[in-house]
Amino acid sequence: MAEMLIKKFVVTRFDPDQDDVPRTETYEVPCHPDWKVLDGLNHIKDEIDPTLAHRWSCRMAVCGSCGMNVNGEPTLTCKKAVRDLPDTIEVTPLSNFPVVRDLVVELEGFMDKLKSVKPWIIRAKEKAVEEGPTRQSPEELEEFKQFSMCINCMLCYAACPVVANEPEFIGPAAIALGHRYSIDSRDEGAAERNEIFRGEGTVFSCSYANECSEVCPKNVDPAAAVNQAKFNAVIDWATGLVLPRGGKE
Amino acid sequence: MAELHRHDIVIVGGGAAGLRAAIAAVKARPGSSVALVSKVYPMRSHTVSAEGGAAAVARADDNLEMHGYDTVKGSDFLGDQDVIQAFVEEAPRELTQLEHWGCPWSRNEDGTVATRAFGGMTTKRTWYAADKVGFHLLHTLFQTSMQYGDIVRYDEVFVSKLLMDGNECRGVAGLDVRTGEMMGVLGRAVILATGGAGKVWPFTTNGNIKTGDGMALAYREGVPMKDMEFVQYHPTGLPGTGILITEATRGEGGHLINSEGERFLITRDYGVGTKAELGPRDMISRAEVQEIEAGRGIDSQYGQHVHLDLTHLGEEKIMKRLPMVRELSKIYAGVDPVYEPIPIRPVVHYMMGGVDVDIDGFADGVDGLLAAGEVACVSLNGANRLGSNSLTECLVFGARSGVKAVEYAKGTSDGDDAALARMGEEEQARIDALRGKQGGGEKIAAIRTDMQSAMESGCGVYREEASMQQTVRDIAALKQRFEGVTLEDKSKVFNTEIIAYLELENMLDVAESVSSSAASRNESRGAHTRKDATARDDVNWLHHTLCYYDPAGPRLDKKDVTLGRWEPEERKY
């Protein structure tokens, strides 16, 4: 049996039924050296304090449920090893979101933001299944693939200084996902989305801090998506000024 | 009950099957109101963890007959051949539909969709998006679903009971996790799409949410569970965590190696013939257990394992085709598969059994109730599922059930709202009584752990009479202990202790049906392998198992297998 690491978990607790303001609770957790932060939280839930509320499921860094701040850093707790952290591990809910309870944050705002960028294939005429699969070259796939890797874990919103000041900013993940469809060779909706992106609280609110790309656990690079989306929105607008019928055939 | 919400149909579960059903329903009958109720936000659904691919005939050297035969043979002849026929015919349409919706399928140089080899499949027919196929499929479906205003989502609502009007299912009672309030979501048909139940075992690829909820909901209303004894062990899980390493590793050329450095599927006879690593999952999992039992396993702090070697594939291929496998191996096993073999062992992965449904998804014995995906047993997979048939199954039978549910809803009238509301009130009272429930001091985690170890010892890769019967008794005893659970969380908001309690209640019912069904089948077929009845017995056991709920203990019955063009034969590769 491997030697246990004793870690002090300092966890934010907040129950709107009982607390006016968040408080912290400290738990001493004997951790297997292979454990992730999530394993420590599950140990607390199962063995020490069953009232702790946190979200998790896949424990393999793909479902996006278990994002929290760990020692101040937006983190997927199922991916962060306890042995890489100091003896005291502070776990708080993701910043820039209303807290529902304990480590659980409100996601409704993001769901609305995601929908607002029309994250689906838009075509003038829907293609019939009988026509078979569209041809798409590996290079065309490569264009958008990275931006399709977003797992909606919300770490980028927690890291984003613009979201912190301007909560209605639609934010890195939603922009990356809207842009992902606009640059997909099968999509015809770029003009629609460019119009959305020229609106308030979208791409032009971004201040180039690049924090989103730094914390992204899937290397989506949302900052690059925001920059590309900005460029396309401007070009599209400028083309519309110069060419008749907005440059559309 | 706080609120009643009326829709045409109600779908429980927001993974691939549920989302596909929802979109199919609103497209089949525009204007239909579809409720999509899920205990998690849909993009958290466990479909997200599927890795390797989805099967459908796509190449010139392939045909529907070959996909059909491979599936029948893989099922050890327990699959219903009419269902398999319909499945292979609709599969290419469904994957094409996903392509049109933007799924980033990997491509050949000419821009056509790429396919890869998978276990038990004669040719390359598994469509893939690198090794994140479930993730892309789920997000494509979820994002596509957002454009349909008629799909009304109830996210983070835990369905705790089906609302019945006589023998007709007319909706669900759901606990809004964020508020702690119950709601009634009513419809003239209900589709269960809640997925599997891997968390009934200690060592599983499944995420924390896979607790067999839909199976238990239907079981308690009298719907039989079918073929529950058939539990798929995936041959390649990471020791310790059980995290899935996709079969695509072998499809791309990976080797399984024992402690002596042998490719044991080649050097010894495990029935997989020249397919070697591309044999079906049941056979390869058994081979691994036998290697370990013969002393050719490799020691680790997590017990014995064997090795999956990808080092000969090279970094470029691994990064292009299997990037997530590399990421997972590094983070969760501390090895880089470009340079070192990955430690792996068999791990509980998939339930072949589930809610007994017909080819259109309608459940046996209750009107207006359907099921699709892993929660259902439509008898596509029989005694052993072939890898990459299940994502396609979610799409084919999800779509079918969505269309059939709105048709059914059109032809029937609303239920008795007052009666349904009363039933909802009773459920509300039951749930309210759970907050801070005084019991006999039993803990959820302890009962869960004991259930999991009972299931591992009686319903593992290899089984025998005494241990299966012991597990049946253990589960019955655990259901007694469950009555004595004490709950500490008294809050209404996001009370995850109550959710864990309800999930454990569901898992115990699933465990009961699995262990009882297993103990009844006195032969070896597919994933149900007995050490004390090693042969397949088509004379006495070529039939499905049905397991009915009874408070006094489960009742078992049989159901004919639908054969067709392929007569049962010895299953050898």
DSSP-derived secondary structure for B318-358 = HHHH-HHHHHHHHHHHS--TTTSPEEEEEEEEEES-EEEB-
Distance CA B469, CA B520 (A): 9
The answer on B325 and B216 residing in a single domain is no
The answer to whether the CB of B541 falls within 8 A of the CB of B521 is yes
Distance CA B203, CA B346 (A): 9
Strand partners, B217: none
The answer to whether the CB of B461 falls within 8 A of the CB of B289 is yes
Which residues 49-68 of chain B have a CB within 8 Å of chain A? 49
Which residues 468-497 of chain B have a CB within 8 Å of chain A? 487-489, 491-497
Which residues 17-46 of chain B have a CB within 8 Å of chain A? 40-41, 43-46
The answer on B343 and B292 residing in a single domain is yes
Distance CA B179, CA B182 (A): 9
Tell me the chain B residues in contact with residue A134 when contact means C-beta distances shorter than 8 Å. 99-100
The answer on A28 and A9 residing in a single domain is yes
Residue B541 falls inside a structural domain: no
The answer on A195 and A88 residing in a single domain is no
Which 3 state secondary structure label does DSSP give A210? coil
Residue B416 falls inside a structural domain: yes
The answer on B145 and B19 residing in a single domain is yes
Partner-chain contact B496 A119, CB within 8 Å: no
The answer on A121 and A53 residing in a single domain is no
Nearest-CB residue to B491 (from A15, A111, A138): A15
- Best residue in B20, B23, B38, B41 for a mutation probing chain A (most A CBs within 10 Å): B41
Nearest-CB residue to B209 (from A52, A57, A61): A57
pLDDT tens digits for range B467-489? 999 999 999 999 999 999 999 99
Q: According to the model, what pLDDT value does residue A78 have? A: 98
Give kind and range of the element (H or E) at residue A190. helix A190-197
Residue B329 falls inside a structural domain: yes
pLDDT tens digits for range B289-333? 999 999 999 999 999 999 999 999 999 999 999 999 999 999 999
**Final residue of a structural domain among A84, A105, A126:** A105
CB atoms within 10 A of CB B60: 5
Residue B440 falls inside a structural domain: yes
The answer on A164 and A88 residing in a single domain is no
The answer on A227 and A119 residing in a single domain is yes
The answer on A113 and A98 residing in a single domain is no
The answer on B190 and B99 residing in a single domain is yes
Residue B566 falls inside a structural domain: no
**Final residue of a structural domain among B299, B316, B347:** B347
CA angle B81, B87, B91 (to 5 degrees): 155
- Please tell me the distance in Å from A94's CA to the nearest CA on chain B: 16
Concatenate the DSSP letters of all residues of B287-322 into one string. Answer: HHHHHHHTT-SB--TT--BEEEE-GGG-HHHHHHH-
Which position has the token pair 């599922």?
A: B385
The answer on B75 and B17 residing in a single domain is yes
Which chain A residue has its CA at the smallest distance from B492's CA? A17
Partner-chain contact B144 A120, CB within 8 Å: yes
Q: According to the model, what pLDDT value does residue B133 have? A: 98
Give kind and range of the element (H or E) at residue B3. strand B3-6
The answer on A233 and A124 residing in a single domain is yes
- Please tell me the distance in Å from A13's CA to the nearest CA on chain B: 12
The answer on A69 and A26 residing in a single domain is yes
The answer on B271 and B181 residing in a single domain is no
> What CATH number is associated with residue B497?
1.20.58.100
Handedness of CA B346, B347, B349, B355 (dihedral sign): positive
Largest CA-CA distance found in chain A, in angstroms, rounded: 74
The answer to whether the CB of B191 falls within 8 A of the CB of B407 is no
The answer on A200 and A165 residing in a single domain is yes
Average pLDDT, chain B: 97
Residues spanned by the domain of A148: 108-247
The answer on B240 and B224 residing in a single domain is no
Q: Give the closest residue to B498 by CA, choosing from B557, B456, B444.
A: B444
**Final residue of a structural domain among B294, B316, B347:** B347
- Please tell me the distance in Å from B556's CA to the nearest CA on chain A: 33
Distance CA B48, CA B43 (A): 7
The answer on A123 and A98 residing in a single domain is no
Distance CA B545, CA B518 (A): 9
The answer on B496 and B365 residing in a single domain is no
**Final residue of a structural domain among A53, A86, A105:** A105
pLDDT tens digits for range A28-59? 999 999 999 999 999 999 999 999 999 999 99
- Please tell me the distance in Å from B146's CA to the nearest CA on chain A: 6
Which residues of chain B carry a pLDDT beneath 70? 1-2
Which chain A residue has its CA at the smallest distance from B137's CA? A148
Tell me the chain A residues in contact with residue B444 when contact means C-beta distances shorter than 8 Å. 46, 50
Which stretches does DSSP call E strand in B149-279? 151-155, 157-165, 168-176, 182-186, 189-192, 225-226, 231-237, 255-257
Partner-chain contact A132 B96, CB within 8 Å: yes
The domain tally of chain A equals 2
The answer on A154 and A48 residing in a single domain is no
Nearest-CB residue to B493 (from A17, A64, A121): A17
- How many residues in chain A? 249
- Best residue in A42, A62, A80, A136 for a mutation probing chain B (most B CBs within 10 Å): A62
User: What tokens appear for B551 in the block?
Assistant: 């408070």
Which residues 144-163 of chain B have a CB within 8 Å of chain A? 144, 146-147, 155
Which chain B residue has its CA at the smallest distance from A140's CA? B111
Pairing verdict, β B3-6 and B9-12: unpaired
Nearest-CB residue to B107 (from A2, A118, A136): A136
Which chain B residue has its CA at the smallest distance from A150's CA? B139
Distance CA B82, CA B565 (A): 10
Residues spanned by the domain of B418: 3-230+352-422
Give, to the nearest 10 degrees, the angle between helix A108-116 and helix A171-182: 30
Give kind and range of the element (H or E) at residue B282. helix B281-293
Q: What is the CA radius of gyration of chain A?
A: 21
pLDDT tens digits for range B362-385? 999 999 999 999 999 999 999 999
The answer on B398 and B253 residing in a single domain is no
The domain tally of chain B equals 3
The answer on B361 and B323 residing in a single domain is no
Residue B565 falls inside a structural domain: no
**Final residue of a structural domain among A105, A130, A149:** A105
In the predicted model, is pLDDT for residue A246 greater than 80?
no
The answer to whether the CB of B205 falls within 8 A of the CB of B40 is no
**Final residue of a structural domain among B327, B347, B367:** B347
- Residue B515 φ then ψ, to 5°: -70, -40
In the predicted model, is pLDDT for residue A249 greater than 70?
no
Partner-chain contact A133 B113, CB within 8 Å: yes
> What CATH number is associated with residue A149?
1.10.1060.10
Number of A/B CB contacts below 8 angstroms equals: 156
The answer on B260 and B303 residing in a single domain is yes
Concatenate the DSSP letters of all residues of A105-171 into one string. Answer: E--HHHHHHHHHT--S---SSPPPGGG-PPP--HHHHHHHHGGGG-----HHHHH-HHHHH-TTS-H
Band of residue A119 on the pLDDT scale cut at 50, 70, 90? very high
Distance CA B395, CA B398 (A): 5
End-to-end CA separation in angstroms for chain B:
57
Strand partners, B545: B558
Partner-chain contact B244 A145, CB within 8 Å: no
Q: Within a 13 Å sphere around the CA of B501, how many CA atoms are in the beta-carbon half?
A: 27
Which residues 212-241 of chain B have a CB within 8 Å of chain A? 240-241
The answer on B137 and B62 residing in a single domain is yes
- Best residue in B139, B300, B497 for a mutation probing chain A (most A CBs within 10 Å): B139
Which residues are CB-neighbours of A101 under 8 A, at least 6 positions away?
A14, A15, A16, A53, B491, B493, B494
- Best residue in B96, B199, B244, B450 for a mutation probing chain A (most A CBs within 10 Å): B96
pLDDT tens digits for range A75-109? 999 999 999 999 999 999 999 999 999 999 999 99
ipTM for the assembly: 0.97
The answer on A134 and A241 residing in a single domain is yes
Estimate to the nearest angstrom the gap between the alpha carbon of B538 and the chain centroid: 26
pLDDT tens digits for range A215-245? 999 999 999 999 999 999 998 888 877 765 5
Q: Give the closest residue to B500 by CA, choosing from A51, A76, A26.
A: A51
Partner-chain contact A136 B111, CB within 8 Å: yes
The answer to whether the CB of A154 falls within 8 A of the CB of A77 is no
What amino acid positions of B are annotated as catalytic residues? Answer: 234, 250
Distance CA A108, CA A98 (A): 10
In the predicted model, is pLDDT for residue A247 greater than 50?
no
> What CATH number is associated with residue B75?
3.50.50.60
Q: According to the model, what pLDDT value does residue B158 have? A: 98
- Please tell me the distance in Å from B73's CA to the nearest CA on chain A: 29
- Please tell me the distance in Å from A132's CA to the nearest CA on chain B: 6
Partner-chain contact A63 B49, CB within 8 Å: yes
> What CATH number is associated with residue B290?
3.90.700.10
- Residue B370 φ then ψ, to 5°: -125, 165
Tell me the chain B residues in contact with residue A22 when contact means C-beta distances shorter than 8 Å. none
